[in-house]
Structure 1
């Protein structure tokens, strides 16, 4: 009995020893992957696991300092919070061994930034490839020249600062992604930056910022997203640009009219296009042809924000793009009108289209938002249903309850399996109309 008891007592020790051996003898690439999946604070704590794990984290190629540093260990209202955080950051950097491929500083509690200067000097000498500085209040901070000497940079993310490179700056020769949130550029700086990054594939500009003109000369650019305001954007050299999201909704008159043929003629492989109110408006000022002289063969997804049904030019613009995109599969559109508008010309135009030979042969999905049940909206729906033989889903969303007299169920459609879905946001009511059958259900207890 004593022997059996003694063996039983040894089992936990054997189990702990085996687990320790397994953890200590993991291949280096496995331990590195484990460490990179952990928040940095927890990665540092792995030093206590065993002698072989001690300081393994100092070789990590990526360092992410985020709000997990503050959570559970510091108080946001601590007057010494700023100095404590940077003390931790510099201690980690002091112990770190080897190149730092990725560095992220994203701590919402940080408000001032004098320590960023020596931080940038350090990173510029350690082979940094991916850099993200996201602090909510940098007060127009100007980065030191050391930022612009990071020759290995592939990805750069900056927020709430001023981007002002020295005169000797020749661009980032290896960078593929630039993302700027509320960043201030001097005259011509953004344009020069884009053209001096020959490998740039992704450009994102966010925040209610105002820029003058932007000539895009980026032969490898594939993705462009911006909700900033520009007087003028010209796609001078962007033969690979496949995704364009320009979503500024500013309605001021300060801007230049665009010719549709000039804009889309420079985007030969565009696949996804989203246009906000402002850019759409200036495109229509330049004149709207019935269809473009060339086809947008690669365009699959089209999203248009705030199309005014009362303006025939804007309705014409929508149909021009659809007609010029023979392989379009998805259309999302916000259409607005008022009961006091004179919609006669728009209704006449849509009726003419209904009796034309135009067809939207590849269109599968349509989404209309802010539907209010006006005649132009109904006629537009009628046209889509009558001209889209492959249509599968039409989702019609309204921001308030809209009376339904059953007219949608009587519209003829050429797609045998089309499903029309009506959704009234106020009451979470969803109505399905399919193959002439009308049945409804209520979501969320509305």
Structure 2
């Protein structure tokens, strides 16, 4: 895009802008617009080449497309290489989107990450559409604080790799581990790691989490067993199985969840329906029962309450969390229509529960029984929010009326229907 030459008056104005203001403006501009500021004055000419944050994400790649909408990787990669290799200072934050059919992207990534490793990069975010193998130069980035990779194959680190000593946030999405122990080798020496997110991985059936500083753990994928080692600082855990595993290896996983109950740091737990069934199959709630004494928030998502094992687990989990203040539950349509004969223990009390949020209910007898149970045992409840799933208007009205008639242990409990 051609830029007209600014007038002398305009040059004088932009030439008197303080350096700190220039840096702040450039940081908040897309890289293409930042480069165009070089014509404003001599003071601005090379400022964009010392930006610490370089964003070549989806919007940047979209601007480089051919007229027919196809990827023009040759053009965008030349721009990226030119900016990187003419850069005047450290690159602290690097963001990149690699589109489909990006010919030569593997070579480009090796060159760019090698350059970044030598320039003290602290944050890397790369979304790769073609599933390339991430270059081993990534293990040379010793200053990394934040690493997010999507759609890559990941080889085991080289023997000389001793972890990322400063890494605090690691997020891997749609990553294939080429060996079972690749992930363990990656995180075992990342002793500053605070947040770990694993979403939809391949090549790792047995997940081992060994990270002494980790506070937030999010697992969303498929595994056959799970082991926690040295996770004493965990505060927030979200674990979801995408499907029930063919092999049920539950003993180690049950022991790991029991280990969570002993943590005085744990404040929030989220399990989905498949994981609840997986844990129920391993007898996670048994004798003596585990108790999450420090838990504030409990989230149980995508539950098929017509499945007796899941319903039993949900009720047992409620009784194992006597001090929760917030309870969120989402329901999916059940495959089985049959009724459960189950004894809801109304003698049990939740004295600290303040808010319940139930999503997706359609008015089945099991769902209504669960709501009635929660209202009966929650002496301090303030709000019970509910949102109906797919059902006829008449059915929704009947369900709302039934809910309103249930007795409540708390005199200040309000039932609120969400749109």
TM-score tier, shorter chain, comes to 0.7 to 0.9
Residues 324 and 353, structure 2, Cα contact 8 Å, conserved in 1: yes
Alignment of 1:320-399 (within 5 A): 320-335=316-331, 337=334, 340-344=337-341, 346=342, 349-350=343-344, 353-354=345-346, 356=347, 358-399=348-389
Alignment of 1:150-169 (within 5 A): 150-164=141-155, 165-169=157-161
Partner residue in 2 for 1:306 = 302
Partner residue in 2 for 1:34 = 25
Root-mean-square deviation (CA, aligned residues, Å) is: 2.6
**Structure 1 252/341 Cα, relative in aligned 2: closer, same or farther at 3 Å?**
farther
**Offset at residue 22 of structure 1 (A):** 5.1
Partner residue in 1 for 2:190 = 197
Partner residue in 1 for 2:407 = 412
Equivalent position SS for 1:180: strand
**Structure 1 329/28 Cα, relative in aligned 2: closer, same or farther at 3 Å?**
same
Residues 210 and 228, structure 1, Cα contact 8 Å, conserved in 2: no
**Offset at residue 265 of structure 1 (A):** 2.5
Alignment of 1:38-437 (within 5 A): 38-71=29-62, 74-75=65-66, 77=68, 81-108=72-99, 111-112=102-103, 113=105, 114-138=107-131, 141-164=132-155, 165-185=157-177, 186-207=179-200, 209=202, 211-258=204-251, 260=254, 262-266=256-260, 268=263, 269-289=265-285, 295-335=291-331, 337=334, 340-344=337-341, 346=342, 349-350=343-344, 353-354=345-346, 356=347, 358-401=348-391, 403=395, 404-405=397-398, 406-422=401-417, 430=419
Deviates more, 1:241-250 or 1:331-340: 331-340
Residues 102 and 130, structure 1, Cα contact 8 Å, conserved in 2: yes
**Offset at residue 79 of structure 1 (A):** 6.5
Q: Distance in 2 between matches of 1:369 and 1:20?
A: 59
- Count of residue pairs brought into register by the alignment: 400
Deviates more, 1:393-402 or 1:233-242: 393-402
Partner residue in 2 for 1:6 = none
**Offset at residue 306 of structure 1 (A):** 3.4
Q: Structure 1, unaligned stretches of length 5 or more?
A: 1-14, 424-429, 431-446
Residues 288 and 313, structure 1, Cα contact 8 Å, conserved in 2: no
Residues 171 and 197, structure 2, Cα contact 8 Å, conserved in 1: yes
**Offset at residue 72 of structure 1 (A):** 5.0
Q: Distance in 2 between matches of 1:158 and 1:76?
A: 29
Residues 368 and 395, structure 1, Cα contact 8 Å, conserved in 2: yes
Q: Distance in 1 between matches of 2:387 and 2:218?
A: 25
TM-score between the two structures when normalised by the length of structure 2: 0.87
Q: Distance in 2 between matches of 1:363 and 1:88?
A: 56
Q: Distance in 2 between matches of 1:104 and 1:224?
A: 23
Residues 288 and 320, structure 1, Cα contact 8 Å, conserved in 2: no
Q: Structure 2, unaligned stretches of length 5 or more?
A: 1-6
Equivalent position SS for 2:243: coil
Deviation string, structure 1 residues 108-138 (Cα, Å, up to 9, x no partner): 4663413212112211211111111112113
Deviation string, structure 1 residues 285-322 (Cα, Å, up to 9, x no partner): 22254787554233222111233434444333223332
TM-score between the two structures when normalised by the length of structure 1: 0.82
